[in-house]
Amino acid sequence: MFRSHVLVCGGTGCTSSGSEAILSALQAELGKKGLTEEVKVIKTGCFGLCALGPIMIVYPEGSFYSMVKPEDIPEIVEEHLLKGRIVKRLLYQETVEGDDVKSLNETQFYKKQLRVALRNCGVINPENIDEYIAFEGYEALGKCLTEYTPDQVIQIVKDSGLRGRGGGGFPTGVKWSLARANDADQKYVCCNADEGDPGAFMDRSILEGDPHALIEAMAIAGYAIGATQGYIYVRAEYPIAVKRLEIAIGQARDYGLLGKNIFDSGFDFDLDIRLGAGAFVCGEETALMTSIEGHRGEPRPRPPFPAQKGLFGKPTILNNVETYANIPQIILKGADWFASMGTEKSKGTKVFALGGKIHNTGLVEIPMGTTLREIVEEIGGGIPNGKKFKAAQTGGPSGGCIPASLIDTPIDYDNLIKIGSMMGSGGLIVMDEDTCMVDIAKFFLEFTVDESCGKCTPCRIGTKRLLELLTKITHGQGEMEDIDRLEELCYYIKENSLCGLGQTAPNPVLSTLRYFRNEYEAHINEKKCPAGVCKSLLSFEILPEKCKGCTLCAKICPAGAITGTVKQPHVIDKAKCVKCGACIEKCRFGAIVKK
């Protein structure tokens, strides 16, 4: 029995900011003070507030230490763990109010969150099945196998209104019932853990923080549709997730929660992991299954849909990690409970990966229907450096942007589609006034051009041509007709591509054209980039009246483009200038401007 538990985040975010060093320093220090029998150290999954990592929580007080450094550990152990005095100086400052320490749930970041899919992340040790069981783990599976028929399970999922969290938003219960209706000697349950949208990492956090939830849900899905084998397709770039999944599957097998005759019900189910090599197209369901079969990951036409002929030609269901993570809670708490959260057509919660120009980057789980304003201004803590909000990008390379004028839109599947974006897997990139929207569209097109598998022409060649047009515009060589060409090509690619990758690839262009057409026009007509991003359209100048002739800029310029004598205004040779901006950063007098 331990009197205190210290939870240290072992997610990828905090691991890269040094939580392993914190863990070893903590173990060493506790050993030195003879506290190893009294204080337990637990490595958990992601807490969500990745911007403030490495994160450490001490229970029973629930003290939230942020940005912990190894040299802070002796003080925390000596003061807090030995003498019981919380080290307020090192706490997440939002939890400190004068002499009082507030609960984490009262902070802006956590206050509006509602954790269903992420409920165990940052609470349990993901490498210990007993801890998962302590938090109601595998009870939903037991309940399904001993109390419900497969049809009842499907009905509960249908009634809950759960829709696919991977992007499409297809009703999960309907998908399951289609697969159940098809008779076959073998069926499969697959999990899409090939999270590929730039900036999205909720699936990784669930795999790292609560792998048993996925295993339990897949077994439930297997029971519901009549499958005995499942595959988790996870990208090899997620080494921590893969390792924890392997450990979790091993433990579940040891406990007989995977394998033969689970809960003495006669139901057999087992799981295997398949590693993806990181191709974005393998997140598309038919390409993913082709890849599991051992072939090159390319999509194939639908129909037949996976529910009819999927993996190895057998009826298959494929759901995303976050979708599965909701299932055990739906079974335990009921369809009505789940349906009570969210909006009319989008039930439950959604996890968003907040990134870009925002204070609290990290993972947030909120009820559907929360407005973008609440996410950005309240939970996200607003935009750094007093800049203005310009737009938010959702859905990654398949999505679009939401401009400032629509910041009060309640976020759910249908609203996002209505305004020309999509939910996607939940990446949410915030952009401020220094972001060029043409450049953003170009960034996403570069990504899709790289990731197009090349099987169908509209996607392979169409996206390449789109990128060329965008490059031409950002280089100041565009003509007004190019905008029409862009639009025409976008619609052509959408209509004719084989799979979701191509069908959605033009979305970033279409949505920036819809809301920021004036920026395209400025690039073309005035040869100006209003946000000051597109280098070809910028020129750097030194204002003679402000320049003190300190020579710092001339020293820092990597191209040797700045000349001048001491205490005399300097000049930039525009022919040599590479527009890197190093001089602007260094100038202490604000004498250098880009135009």
Beta carbons of 168 and 286 less than 8 angstroms apart: no
Total site size for other proteins, rule CB under 8 A:
36
Q: Report if residue 101 touches other proteins, rule: CB under 8 A.
A: no
Q: Report if residue 492 touches other proteins, rule: CB under 8 A.
A: no
Q: At what angle do helices 202-209 and 321-333 cross, to 10 degrees?
A: 60
Q: Residue 106 corresponds to which tokens in the numbers above?
A: 């009262």
The residue among 245 and 257 lying less far from other proteins, judged by its C-beta, is 257
Q: Report if residue 1 touches other proteins, rule: CB under 8 A.
A: yes
How many angstroms separate the CA atoms of 540 and 578, rounded?
A: 10
State the nearest-atom distance from the C-beta of 85 to other proteins, in Å. Answer: 6
How many angstroms separate the CA atoms of 530 and 521, rounded?
A: 10
- Would you say how long the chain is, in residues? 595
State the nearest-atom distance from the C-beta of 74 to other proteins, in Å. Answer: 17
Q: Report if residue 143 touches other proteins, rule: CB under 8 A.
A: yes
Instruction: Look up residue 573 and give its DSSP letter.
Output: -
Q: Which of 99, 100, 185, 264 binds other proteins (CB under 8 A)?
A: 264
The residue among 124 and 241 lying less far from other proteins, judged by its C-beta, is 124
The residue among 61 and 450 lying less far from other proteins, judged by its C-beta, is 61
Q: Which of 20, 78, 127, 131 binds other proteins (CB under 8 A)?
A: 131
Query: Which CB contacts under 8 angstroms, 24+ apart, belong to 125-129?
Result: 125/42, 125/43, 125/44, 126/10, 126/44, 126/45, 126/208, 126/209, 126/210, 126/211, 126/212, 126/244, 126/248, 127/43, 127/244, 127/247, 127/248, 128/251, 129/212, 129/248, 129/251, 129/252, 129/255, 129/257
State the nearest-atom distance from the C-beta of 84 to other proteins, in Å. Answer: 4
Q: Report if residue 5 touches other proteins, rule: CB under 8 A.
A: yes
Stretch that binds other proteins, among 57-65, 292-300, 447-455, 459-467 (CB under 8 A): 57-65
Beta carbons of 225 and 103 less than 8 angstroms apart: no
Q: Report if residue 127 touches other proteins, rule: CB under 8 A.
A: no
CA dihedral angle for residue 462, residue 463, residue 465, residue 471, rounded to 10 degrees: 170
The residue among 130 and 414 lying less far from other proteins, judged by its C-beta, is 130
The answer to whether the Cα torsion of 18, 23, 24, 28 is positive or negative is positive
Q: Which of 52, 124, 288, 441 binds other proteins (CB under 8 A)?
A: 124
How many angstroms separate the CA atoms of 152 and 97, rounded?
A: 50
Q: Which of 85, 89, 296, 555 binds other proteins (CB under 8 A)?
A: 85
Query: Which CB contacts under 8 angstroms, 24+ apart, belong to 65-68?
Result: 65/90, 65/91, 65/92, 66/90, 66/91, 66/92, 67/17, 68/22
Beta carbons of 540 and 593 less than 8 angstroms apart: yes
State the nearest-atom distance from the C-beta of 261 to other proteins, in Å. Answer: 8
Buried b (16+ CB within 10 A) or exposed e, 341-369: bbbeebbbbbbbbbbbbbbbbbbbbbbbb
State the nearest-atom distance from the C-beta of 406 to other proteins, in Å. Answer: 37
The residue among 44 and 172 lying less far from other proteins, judged by its C-beta, is 44
State the nearest-atom distance from the C-beta of 47 to other proteins, in Å. Answer: 12
Per-residue contact flags (x/-) with other proteins for residues 7 to 46, judged by CB under 8 A: x-----------------------------xx--------
How many angstroms separate the CA atoms of 118 and 140, rounded?
A: 17
How many angstroms separate the CA atoms of 128 and 44, rounded?
A: 10
Stretch that binds other proteins, among 140-148, 457-465, 528-536, 574-582 (CB under 8 A): 140-148
Other beta carbons less than 10 A from residue 533's beta carbon = 17
The residue among 63 and 452 lying less far from other proteins, judged by its C-beta, is 63
Q: Report if residue 130 touches other proteins, rule: CB under 8 A.
A: yes
Q: Which of 47, 65, 110, 138 binds other proteins (CB under 8 A)?
A: 138
Q: Report if residue 575 touches other proteins, rule: CB under 8 A.
A: no
State the nearest-atom distance from the C-beta of 335 to other proteins, in Å. Answer: 21
How many angstroms separate the CA atoms of 164 and 172, rounded?
A: 6
Q: Report if residue 142 touches other proteins, rule: CB under 8 A.
A: yes
Other beta carbons less than 10 A from residue 211's beta carbon = 29
**Any idea which residue has 């935009």 for tokens?**
383
Q: Report if residue 70 touches other proteins, rule: CB under 8 A.
A: no
Q: Residue 37 corresponds to which tokens in the numbers above?
A: 């029998």
The residue among 104 and 562 lying less far from other proteins, judged by its C-beta, is 104
Per-residue contact flags (x/-) with other proteins for residues 219 to 258, judged by CB under 8 A: ------------------------------------xxx-
- The kind and range of the H/E element at 447 are helix 437-451
Q: Phi-psi bin for 317: left (phi > 0), alpha (psi -120 to 50), beta? A: beta
SS3 category, 307: coil
Q: Residue 130 corresponds to which tokens in the numbers above?
A: 């007993």
The residue among 239 and 256 lying less far from other proteins, judged by its C-beta, is 256
State the nearest-atom distance from the C-beta of 127 to other proteins, in Å. Answer: 14
Q: Which of 18, 21, 62, 184 binds other proteins (CB under 8 A)?
A: 62
State the nearest-atom distance from the C-beta of 224 to other proteins, in Å. Answer: 19
The residue among 147 and 526 lying less far from other proteins, judged by its C-beta, is 147
Q: Report if residue 337 touches other proteins, rule: CB under 8 A.
A: no
Q: Report if residue 100 touches other proteins, rule: CB under 8 A.
A: no
Q: Report if residue 103 touches other proteins, rule: CB under 8 A.
A: yes
Q: Which of 32, 61, 239, 543 binds other proteins (CB under 8 A)?
A: 61
**Any idea which residue has 């001490």 for tokens?**
58
Which residues, including other chains, have CB under 8 Å from residue 450's CB and lie 6 or more apart? Answer: none
Q: Report if residue 148 touches other proteins, rule: CB under 8 A.
A: no
Task: List residues near other proteins by CB under 8 A.
Answer: 1-5, 7, 37-38, 59-62, 82-85, 103, 123-124, 130-131, 133-136, 138-139, 142-143, 146, 255-257, 262-264
